[in-house]
A and B are shown apart, each in its own frame.
Chain A
Amino acid sequence: MTSELDIFVGNTTLIDEEVYRLWLDGYSVSDAVALRVRAGILEQTGATAAVLQSDTMDHYRTFHMLERLLHAPPKLLHQLVFQIPPSRQALLIERYYAFDEAFVREVLGKKLSKGTKKDLDDISAKTGITLKSCRRQFDNFKRVFKVVEEMRGSLADNIQQHFLFSDRLARDYAAIVFFANNRFETAKKKLQYLSFGDFAFCAELMIQNWTLGAVDSQVDDMDMDLDKEFLQDLKELKVLVADKDLLDLHKSLVCTALRGKLGVFSEMEANFKNLSRGLVNVAAKLTHNKDVRDLFVDLVEKFVEPCRSDHWPLGDVRLFLNQYSVTVHSLDGFRHQALWDRYMDTLRGCLLRLYHD
């Protein structure tokens, strides 16, 4: 006796969250059955293995049919074939587009191209995430990227509107799209200690302040691309380190303000010029695409690592950065105050987030 056909169709589509997770994780039906057995479901429910097999198959088939709709979530809402309560629809979408931390760190900042897709087996082997799941996550990134690529308006809002994500997920995807578009390097060994959350935080600050959309909300690609003019202008900041008097004045102002307040005052005093040169040079280099990509590498190399080697506590870093950016306003010879603020406000936020072990 073999089962030729075995289906269950409910007027309200049944969604088993547990099986959905296994499906999303890319397990085959037999693996999923084995995992469910191991989770003790047979003992809890008194079901047989055959029942579990049939149930799992059924859910997998349903998910497979839903997958086409999940590629364009508004379709899931308007379709008539599967009657699913709104809360369940939201869950389906949210889980389908959720991604693994380990995976996103591997592809963050990479071009979402065929080439990267070919490397997915390596990523799968490295992270222990099934290839199927890697593909889904990669395709999700790419799909969202393609849809919002050419759109006006806020990146996160666009994503939310076209994919019906929660705020949180929409912001994460905005970061992923932003990183993919600007190809920031995140894979270097130096950057391994950083989490996706760190990068996403920086991305949000940069989208808010450094893109075209930050100044003019009616430009194409406004949230995706950095404001080229702004990046060009950043060269003007060079005077802060090139002009020796200005640099000395800046240093003395910062030192006066922080004397006695900083645990690492002497280290700061000794390193001030190096640090300032590092931060200003990062700004000045941003005219070249290549250097834009290396932004995070540079920040870690030029600022995070020196401070860390001197064991600056985070509080001291904060005090220093605040003072460092504020005192520029007192430099009489310096004319680019607004530019400095646009640069440094974001950078300060990023650096504080990047500064950890």
Chain B
Amino acid sequence: MPGKLKVKIVAGRHLPVMDRASDLTDAFVEVKFGNTTFKTDVYLKSLNPQWNSEWFKFEVDDEDLQDEPLQITVLDHDTYSANDAIGKVYIDIDPLLYSEAATVISGWFPIYDTIHGIRGEINVVVKVDLFNDLNRFRQSSCGVKFFCTTSIPKCYRAVIIHGFVEELVVNEDPEYQWIDRIRTPRASNEARQRLISLMSGELQRKIGLKVLEMRGNAVVGYLQCFDLEGESGLVVRAIGTACTLDKLSSPAAFLPACNSPSKEMKESPLAHPPSHGCRSTHNSPIHTATGSRLTQNFSVSVPTLIYTGMGSGSAGKEGGPFKALLRQQTQSALEQRGGSPHRFCRRREFPFFTLTAFPPGFLVHVGGVVSARSVKLLDRIHNPDEPETRDAWWAEIRQEIKSHAKALGCHAVVGYSESTSICEEVCILSASGTAAVLNPRFLQDGTVEGCLEQRIEENLPAGCGFCHIPYDELNMPFPAHLTYCYNCRKQKVPDVLFTTIDLPTDATVVGKGCLIQARLCRLKKKAQAEANATAISNLLPFMEYEVHTQLMNKLKLKGMNALFGLRIQITVGENMLMGLASATAVYLAALPMPGGIQIAGKTPSDGSYEQHISHMQKKISDTIAKNKELYEINPPEISEEIIGSPIPEPKQRSRLLRSQSESSDEVTELDLSHGKKDAFVLEIDDTDAMEDVHSLLTDVPPPSGFYSCNTEIMPGINNWTSEIQMFTSVRVIRLSSLNLTNQALNKNFNDLCENLLKSLYFKLRSMIPCCLCHVNFTVSLPEDELIQVTVTAVAITFDKNQALQTTKTHIEKSLQRASTDNEELLQFPLELCSDSLPSHPFPPAKEHLESARSNSGIPAAQRAVTVEKASPMGEGNFRNRSAPPCANSTVGVVKMTPLSFIPGAKITKYLGIINMFFIRETTSLREEGGVSGFLHAFIAEVFAMVRAHVAALGGNAVVSYIMKQCVFMENPNKNQAQCLINVSGDAVIFVRESELEVISTQQPTANCQQSCAGGEVTT
């Protein structure tokens, strides 16, 4: 009996009218946890009932505490007929289970109904009393912290980064159970919501157990996804990176905004005794996937590319990807055959990290992007307790990723993620990451194989070390063009670098970056089962290849040489496949300057054609020049003399074209001396290629004052102001079904994405100068002729004047960085390693930290109290002041952002993970404003529910917010639509930096006023 959950129902407001006769409602509330239900009294005839209930107490196992959501149902009492449900609130009580997060959940929650949407609000208070657990064989993992953030959370320090954790649970989808034929849509939706909530809880608990087993205390970069497999069931799977985190106690001594000042006191460095780690081996939830089941299922392993520095220059590069492709195919096939099943059950066999940003010194080298896909046919999950098939599928893919990484001379994969695309019974599983060499000092012993030690140079040059190739120059896994690093001149670097991670903070970048997308559609015949899967797997390599080519072309066109945050999504539909790759292009100073793009025609020369070609060539060259100017790419010229001997002479390669070699003669006639490097040759021998070139040129740059990237921050901009606007935009287009061609399809898809971006720029024009960060596109094909694109991003304003200073020399830059990135240093003292704790907890650079110390005449408790006033409440005060008629406003502002930080503010506390799943359905689509009105309202409601939960936890922001799923289905003929949305993020408390300074320098009495002024910035 290790926990007591206490719930109090305070009041309701804005309830809907349930009794037409009186225009009022007789509301009461059912509070359910597990199998126990309590009820409040009926509050007669009111739309704003005041229940003020007693404390309902549930005595439960902590296992249930982790799995079950608290379910609150508001009903209208009816004497003669059945009570009508008004709506529900699901509260995940997980944040109350770890000692450093929230202590109480208290606030107004929207009452949600899957048919009517939000119907009023209810005020609830929830508390948990946890007892000490004496059970040795416990199944719960209370106390393990979860973070969606894909870097070490601010205000924590990583002691050890243990590595990859994964888990999946399966169940039947209630929507497809026989009972669904007789129950109402509402009941069906609620069953689904509840089941998924339960499954996520269970999944999180199981992952937590694995973390404890690894002796970790937290999961960072936690990514949980649902696979709606239809008839064959429902899969909830999650991956993350297990870590041992230490709370940075030094700033916490004066840092504010803890709900209760006393809480600070009980925060010992680690929340649980270290003995937990060695426990649950005998009931380990890791599934031993036996390879045998694989044979029952149809499965196609798809050969995949290694995206690295190949592709620049003409010679051999064009053929390169294909060669590499074939090699990988055979290699992985071999490995699979050779791989014995027992490998799957070894712990931590996958040296994968879901992190995308790292402590300084963690990342030694980056090899390139590794990805793997496989096409599977779904069959019914017969036994939900044995999800081996899915486990085996993923294990297979991970194995492939691992072997790809090995081929690149890397022992680890960072920025790792997994995804699926399902259409009917076909499922594409994808995984990708960046092969890397890591500094073993950060990892737990034994994770890194010893043989790699020799690769790690002890004193890495700052800003370019990660670019140096990890693989053997003489035994390269693919043809690549290597040069000596343009920064340190000591090590070899590739000419182009693709990665899935964020730009390392110490990387030296020239100019600004930009968002690059490759978009691609391929028609496919409708087919059934295995024929379909075969067709898809045959198409995939071609798509990968073309996506890669497009990315490379666009990168060249921007005059840049590296991609970060690369994310390639392949979506399968009934009659087509879509590929969408997004990445942030930058110019890394360490890599060579990219060559231009050269166009070559294949058909024998005729005058007008040649003219056309040269015209196109001019256009391309102009675009490159323009882009260089736009993104301020003017790398310091390094004369060949300084470079000295280590740099090999630029080879005079014979230029081969993509298809046949006989065409090379013509090419020599063209001027290829664009820049110093060999040019990248584009052959336009058919209309397809022509289209490619055209589409290259039709991508319009964002209007002036706008930048965009899909990484956390924009390289080259570092003076963010505090205004942020997170948004989600969804578009669905219907293709005209008549004789669709690949070309027309590509154009439609391209236009869709471009128009969407244009719309965003237009909508957000009032924020100029601003940058769209973490732009995340998702494509789905809900029906035959429908394409749906969902974008979530955040627009952040920046100070233009300071932005101009970005073109500085590297030294100045690194100095600047040293002063601004103290925060990083604070979290990761460079001497950090697994066995030594930092010797001095206060790095000297934090002035205000020091001043706070010197100011410590004020007792700690008092300080905490004054600060509490300063945080979210301050905004409330401000509101009253600024708009006198709008008095007594109680809704606090909650910021949402897909980034892990809030510009101009400091995150002082992580309150827990937010992971919510909603279904909304309507049978009166027209009345709700059609599909757009329906979805617009639903997304707004989802945002509202996320904000309400965060506010109830005492937070004022969600960071690392992500909309993982937005499945929209419509049937306009029946006037119906349904949508499923899954979102997650980390609830936090942040304090404006301006407020922090005030707090540290002024007397507490002055704080309140000052922080009100600070609140002005917030709203």
A-side interface residues toward B, CB under 8 Å?
Answer: 1-14, 45-48, 50-52, 54-55, 57-58, 61-62, 64-65, 75, 77-83, 85-87, 89-90, 160, 164-166
A82 and B726 alpha carbons, distance in the complex (Å): 13
Q: Tell me if A4 and B786 are in contact (CB < 8 A).
A: yes
Question: How many Å lie between the Cα of A1 and that of B786 in the bound state?
Answer: 10
Q: A64 contacts which chain B residues (CB < 8 A)?
A: 929, 933
Cβ contact of B728, chosen from A5, A9, A77, A85, cutoff 8 A: A9
A-B contact count (CB 8 A): 152
How far does the Cβ of A62 sit from chain B's closest Cβ, in whole Å? 8
Most B CB contacts (10 A, CB to CB) among A10, A13, A46 go to A10
Q: Residue A90 contacts which of B734, B883, B929 (CB distance < 8 angstroms)?
A: B883
Query: Which one of A1, A47, A79 contacts B762 once the chains associate, using CB atoms below 8 Å?
Result: A47
A83-B936 contact in complex given A78-B13, A90-B886, C-beta closer than 8 Å: no
Residue B236 at the chain A interface, CB threshold 8 Å: no
Complex: A14 Cα to B795 Cα, angstroms: 12
Q: Add 17 more A-B contacts to A51-B759, A77-B891 (CB < 8 A).
A: A1-B733, A1-B751, A2-B733, A4-B734, A6-B730, A7-B731, A8-B759, A9-B727, A9-B729, A11-B895, A14-B763, A45-B762, A47-B758, A47-B762, A51-B755, A61-B936, A80-B947
Stretch at the interface among B334-342, B566-574, B938-946, B1004-1012: B938-946
A11 to chain B, nearest CB (A): 4
How far apart sit A62 and B968, CA to CA, in the bound complex (Å)?
A: 20
- Asked whether, in the complex, the Cβ of A9 is within 8 Å of the Cβ of B940, the reply is yes
In the assembly, what is the distance between CA of A79 and CA of B889, in Å? Answer: 10
User: Across the interface, do A65 and B940 meet the contact criterion of CB distance under 8 Å?
Assistant: yes
Complex interface bits, B918-959 against A, C-beta within 8 A gives 1, otherwise 0: 000000000001011101110111011001100000000000
Bound Cα distance from A46 to B943, whole angstroms = 31
In the assembled complex, B121 has its CB within 8 A of some CB on chain A: yes
Interface of B is mostly: mixed
Which of A5, A9, A87 is close to B931, meaning CB atoms less than 8 Å apart?
A5
B748 at the interface (CB under 8 A from A): yes
Q: Could you say which residues of chain B place their CB within 8 Å of the CB of A58?
A: 763, 936
A61 to B931, CA, bound (A): 12
B382 at the interface (CB under 8 A from A): no
* Complex Cα–Cα for A57 and B933 (A): 10
CB pair B731 A12 closer than 8 Å? no
Q: Identify which of residues 401-457 in chain B touch chain A, using a CB-to-CB cut-off of 8 Å.
A: none
Residues of B within 8 Å of A81, CB to CB, are 110, 118, 940-941, 943-944
Residues 841 to 894 of chain B near chain A (Cβ within 8 Å): 879, 882-883, 885-886, 888-891, 893-894
Taking the nearest CB of chain B, how far is it from the CB of A154, in angstroms?
15
Contact A51 B758 (CB under 8 A): yes
Cβ of B729 and Cβ of A7 under 8 Å apart? yes
Q: Which residues of A contact B752 (CB under 8 A)?
A: 1
Chain B residues 648 to 703 lying within 8 A of chain A, measured CB to CB, are 703
A3 to B, closest residue via Cβ: B733
Q: Given A54-B759, A65-B940 in contact, is the A3-B731 Cβ separation under 8 Å?
A: yes
Quick check: is B605 within 8 A (CB to CB) of the other chain? no
Query: What are the interface flags for B730-761 relative to A under an 8 Å C-beta threshold, 1 for contact and 0 otherwise?
Result: 11111110000000000010011001001111
Closest Cβ–Cβ distance, residue A191 to chain B (whole Å): 32
Report Cα–Cα, A54/B731, bound state, in Å.
10
Asked if B631 is at the interface of the complex by the 8 Å CB criterion, the answer is no
- Residues of A with C-beta under 8 A to B890: 78
Partner of A3, one of B703, B732, B940, B968: B732
Partner of B110, one of A6, A77, A80: A80
Contacts A1-B734, A8-B727, A61-B929 hold; do A86 and B1019 have CB atoms under 8 A apart? Answer: yes
The verdict on A8 contacting B729 (CB below 8 Å), with A51-B762, A80-B947 known, is yes
> With A77-B891, A83-B894, A164-B885 given, is the CB distance from A10 to B727 under 8 Å?
yes
The answer to whether B886 and A55 have CB atoms under 8 Å apart is no
Chain B residues touching A, range = 35 or more
Can you report 29 A-B residue pairs in the complex whose CB atoms are below 8 A from each other? A1-B752, A2-B733, A2-B734, A4-B931, A5-B732, A5-B788, A8-B727, A8-B759, A9-B936, A11-B727, A11-B943, A11-B947, A45-B762, A50-B755, A51-B755, A51-B759, A55-B759, A61-B936, A62-B936, A78-B14, A80-B108, A81-B944, A82-B940, A82-B944, A83-B891, A83-B943, A87-B883, A90-B886, A164-B885
Q: How far is the CA of A217 from the CA of B760 in the complex (A)?
A: 55
Interface-centre pick from A8, A82, A165 (highest chain B CB count, 10 A): A8
Asked if A7 meets B118 with Cβ closer than 8 Å, knowing A50-B755, A54-B759, A160-B885, the reply is no
Closest Cβ of chain B to A168, distance in Å, is: 11
From residue B27, how far is it (CB to closest CB) to chain A in Å?
A: 17
Docked CA distance A247–B727 (Å): 77
Given contacts A10-B726, A80-B108, A89-B886, contact A75 B14 (CB under 8 A): yes
For the residues of A in contact with B, the DSSP-based class is mixed
Q: Are B762 and A164 in touch, CB under 8 angstroms?
A: no
Whole-angstrom distance between the alpha carbons of A5 and B726 in the complex? 20
* Chain B residue nearest to A7 in the complex (CB): B936
Closest to A94 in B: B885
Per-position 1/0 for B107-133, Cβ under 8 A of A = 010100000001001000000000000
Known contacts A3-B732, A9-B728; A45/B765 CB under 8 A: yes
Whether A65 lies near B943 (C-beta < 8 A) is no
CA distance A3 to B729 in the complex (A): 13
Which of A55, A77, A85 sits near B1019, CB closer than 8 Å?
Answer: A85
Q: A62 — nearest CB in chain B belongs to which residue? A: B936
Q: Which residues of B contact A85 (CB under 8 A)?
A: 893, 1019
B249 at the interface (CB under 8 A from A): no
**What is the CB-to-nearest-CB distance from A156 to chain B, in angstroms, rounded to a whole number?**
12
Contact (Cβ within 8 A) A5 B886? no
Residue B719 lies at the interface, judged by CB distance under 8 Å to chain A: no
| Contact among B726, B730, B948 for A7, CB-based, below 8 A | B730
| Bound-state Cα–Cα, A10 to B935, Å | 13
State A83–B724 Cα separation when bound (angstroms): 13
Task: Identify the interface centre among A6, A75, A160: most chain B CB within 10 Å of its CB.
Answer: A6
Give the distance in Å from the alpha carbon of A80 to the alpha carbon of B939 in the complex: 13
- Whether A1 and B891, one on each chain, are in contact in the complex, defined by CB atoms closer than 8 angstroms, is no
Residue B725 is within 8 A (CB to CB) of chain A in the complex: yes
Q: Are A8 and B732 in contact (CB under 8 A)?
A: no
| Cβ-based interface call for B772 (8 A) | no
Query: Are the C-beta atoms of B882 and A87 separated by less than 8 Å?
Result: yes
Chain A residues, CB < 8 A from B703: 45-46
Which one, A48, A55, A61, contacts B763 given CB within 8 A? A55
Q: Do B932 and A6 touch across chains, with their CB atoms under 8 A apart? A: yes
A79 to B729, alpha carbons, bound, how many Å?
Answer: 22
Query: Which residues of the other chain, B, contact A61 by a CB distance below 8 angstroms?
Result: 929, 932-933, 936
B890, closest chain A residue (CB): A78
Of chain A, the residue at the smallest CB distance from B935 is: A7
Cβ contacts under 8 Å, B932 to chain A: 5-7, 57, 61
Q: Which residues on the A side are within 8 Å of B736 (C-beta)?
A: 1-2
- Asked if A6 and B883 sit within 8 Å, CB to CB, the answer is no
The interface residues of chain A lying within 8 Å CB-to-CB of B962 are none
Q: Is B896 among interface residues, defined by CB-CB distance under 8 A?
A: yes
The 3 closest A-B pairs by CB, nearest first: A5-B732, A10-B727, A164-B885
Cβ of B107 to closest chain A Cβ, rounded Å: 10
B residues within 8 A CB of A83?
A: 891, 893-894, 943-944, 947
Contacts of A50 in B (CB 8 A): 755
Question: Could you tell me the distance between the alpha carbons of A4 and B731 in the complex, rounded to whole angstroms?
Answer: 7
Cα distance, A166 to B726, chains bound together (Å)? 31
* Complex alpha-carbon distance, A14 and B762, angstroms: 12
Known interface pairs A4-B734, A6-B731, A7-B936. Does A80 touch B121 (Cβ–Cβ under 8 Å)? Answer: yes
Residues 632-643 of B, flagged 1 when their CB comes within 8 A of A and 0 if not, give 000000000000
B885 in contact with A166 (CB, 8 Å): yes
State the Cβ distance, A55 to closest chain B Cβ, in Å: 6
Measured CA separation A52–B885 after assembly (Å): 34
Complex: chain A residue closest to B730, CB-CB? A7
Q: A61-B933, A81-B940 are in contact. Are A5 and B730 (CB under 8 A)?
A: yes
| Minimum CB–CB distance for B142 against chain A, Å | 30
How far is it, in angstroms, between the C-alpha of A57 and the C-alpha of B937 when the chains are bound? Answer: 14
